[in-house]
Each structure stands twice: as structure tokens, then as C-alpha cells.
């Protein structure tokens, strides 16, 4: 059985133009070409296309994909490895979906309730996010003055204070993501109001100068762990918030 290029494009979501390009570079030639000049693909070609798409999801370049497919690597082993990676990522995303969904629901409930006690386990706010136990030690090493300045405030925080702060952090990340998704420029007053709230929140623990605040913003992008935490809420969020914080520092702190 064979499928036309149009049928393969419809089934896979890959455009006919891309399929033709894959043929031109030798990555996915069709099984045969009809008298009408149309490309036709058989089952083996569809399986190869699936493997191409799987590896593209893992950010492999087309040359790398072709090298893997043209090698003598056991394709079943490659597929099993892809499957395991996808399962791990699905589990992580499922956890993150529950985390954000639960937070949104609880914040909506709080709109009708002045108390802030609905989250019994504040650590649930951060399920699904990458976190290292060495983070605190790294902060002490990279920003010793800021760490020393923040210690009194941190040590006097009650469990209720920590819970409230964690809720604020999560809620603000969601608000930044919503502004980014709506295409709001980073210099827009609504975005800058969120940045101002962020700066005041940071200043509860240490008071960054313009350069220090821009350094903090840059860290969200440059440090893979911080960037991953932001971008797991929304792709590009780390860069968006970095630009917003930089604009705030240049305008308000310089």
C-alpha cells in the first residue's frame, strides 16, 4: 500500500514542501514517483518519517538525523530510547500541569476569601520544577553580599510568610506568561507594574542596584536551571522577563 505526498502531509502534519525538501537532501526519498510526477510513500517510509520527527523533537539537526538513520544502529533500540524520554517528559509535564492548575484554582478561590491558608503544603507549588539542593550554597558563593543582607529577613519568616511568598512567586510567573502570550511589549505599563512588584519583592531580602537587578535578570536566561523553570511555565518566559527587568532597571534604577 502506498500514500501520496498529500496524504502523508495530512497524516503527519508535515508540509508537502518539507517532504520534498527531505527527498532533495536524501533524508526521505519516496518509494516511487508516479507518471503524474507525484511522490508516493510506503509503510517503511512512514516509519522513517516518524523517526525523523522524533529526533527533530529532540532538537537534532537534519544532518545528525540522517547520520543516525543511515547508520547500522538498531532502530528498535533508538525508538525505545525515544519512547522512554517521551514518557519521562510526559510525566514531568503532567506534574507541572497539576501544579499550575491547582495554583490557579486556589488563587481564584482567594479572590472571594481574604485568608491565605488554602495551600496546606506550599512545596506543592514547585512540583515539576527543576531544583538542586546545592542552590543555596551557590547563591552564597556567587552573591555573598546579597546573601548576607537577605539572611535577617529570611530567618524571621514564619511558615505562613514562606507560604504567602511562594504563592506570590508562582502567581507572578503566571501573570508574566499571560502578558507575554498576549504580545504585550516589555515596556508596556502593565508589564512594568509586574516588574515593579517583582523588584519590591526582591527588595524584601536585598536591595539590588540597577546593575545587580539586570544581573539577576540575565541569570534567568543564562543559567540553564533558572531558564528551564521559567520556560516550563511558557516557552520564552525567561527571555521576556529578563528584557522587562532590564528595561525597568534602565528606566527606574539608573
What domains can you pick out in the chain, each with its CATH number?
A: 2-73 (1.10.1660.10), 95-253 (1.10.490.50)
**Cα 234 from Cα 128, distance rounded (Å):** 13
The C-alpha cell of 152 is what?
535577617
What CA–CA distance (Å, rounded) separates 110 from 82?
42
At 183 the pLDDT is: 87
Of the candidates 12, 4, 44, the residue with the CA atom closest to the CA atom of residue 28: 44
The pLDDT tens digits of the residues spanning 176-228 come to 888 888 889 999 999 999 999 999 888 877 788 898 889 889 988 888 878 88
Average pLDDT over every residue of 118-140: 43
Q: Which residue has the higher pLDDT, 68 or 18?
A: 18
DSSP assignment of 104-144:
HHHHHHHTT-S-----S-GGGGGTTS---TTHHHHHHHH-H
Lowest mean pLDDT among 102-111, 142-151, 174-183, 216-225: 142-151
pLDDT classification of 151: cutoffs 50, 70, 90: low
Is 188 or 61 the better-scoring residue by pLDDT? 188
Residues paired with residue 127 on neighbouring β-strands, in sequence order: none
Contacts (Cβ under 8 Å, ≥6 apart) of 173: 230, 233, 237
Using only the alpha carbons of the chain, give its radius of gyration.
25
Task: Give percent above pLDDT 90 in the chain.
Answer: 28
Question: What is the pLDDT at residue 149?
Answer: 59
pLDDT digits (tens, 9 = 90+) for 119-129: 334 444 444 44
Which has more pLDDT, 241 or 82?
241
List the strands of the sheet with 39-42, edge to edge: 2-4, 39-42, 32-33
More confident residue, 90 or 242: 242
Amino acid at each position: 500500500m502506498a500514500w501520496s505526498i498529500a496524504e502523508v502531509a495530512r497524516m503527519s502534519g508535515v508540509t508537502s514542501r518539507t517532504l520534498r525538501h527531505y527527498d532533495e537532501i536524501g533524508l526521505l526519498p519516496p518509494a516511487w514517483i508516479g507518471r503524474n510526477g507525484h511522490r508516493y510513500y510506503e509503510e517503511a517510509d512512514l516509519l522513517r518519517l516518524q523517526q525523523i520527527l522524533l529526533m527533530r523533537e529532540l532538537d537534532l539537526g537534519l544532518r545528525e538525523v540522517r547520520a543516525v538513520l543511515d547508520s547500522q544502529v538498531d532502530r528498535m533500540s533508538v525508538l525505545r530510547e525515544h519512547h522512554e524520554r517521551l514518557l519521562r517528559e510526559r510525566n514531568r509535564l503532567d506534574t507541572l500541569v497539576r501544579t499550575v492548575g491547582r495554583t490557579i484554582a486556589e488563587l481564584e478561590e482567594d479572590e472571594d476569601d481574604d485568608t491565605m491558608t488554602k495551600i496546606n503544603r506550599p512545596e506543592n507549588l514547585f512540583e515539576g520544577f527543576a531544583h538542586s539542593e546545592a542552590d543555596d550554597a551557590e547563591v552564597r558563593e556567587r552573591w555573598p553580599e546579597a546573601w548576607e543582607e537577605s539572611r535577617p529577613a529570611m530567618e524571621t519568616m514564619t511558615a505562613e510568610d514562606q507560604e504567602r511568598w511562594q504563592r506570590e512567586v508562582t502567581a507572578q510567573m503566571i501573570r508574566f506568561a499571560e502578558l507575554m502570550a498576549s504580545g504585550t511589549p516589555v515596556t508596556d505599563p502593565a508589564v512594568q507594574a509586574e516588574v515593579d512588584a517583582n523588584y519590591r519583592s526582591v527588595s524584601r531580602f536585598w536591595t539590588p542596584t540597577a546593575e545587580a537587578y539586570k544581573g539577576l535578570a540575565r541569570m534567568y536566561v543564562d543559567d540553564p536551571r533558572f531558564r528551564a523553570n521559567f520556560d516550563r511555565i511558557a516557552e520564552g518566559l525567561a527571555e521576556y522577563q529578563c528584557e522587562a527587568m532590564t528595561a525597568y532597571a534602565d528606566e527606574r534604577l539608573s
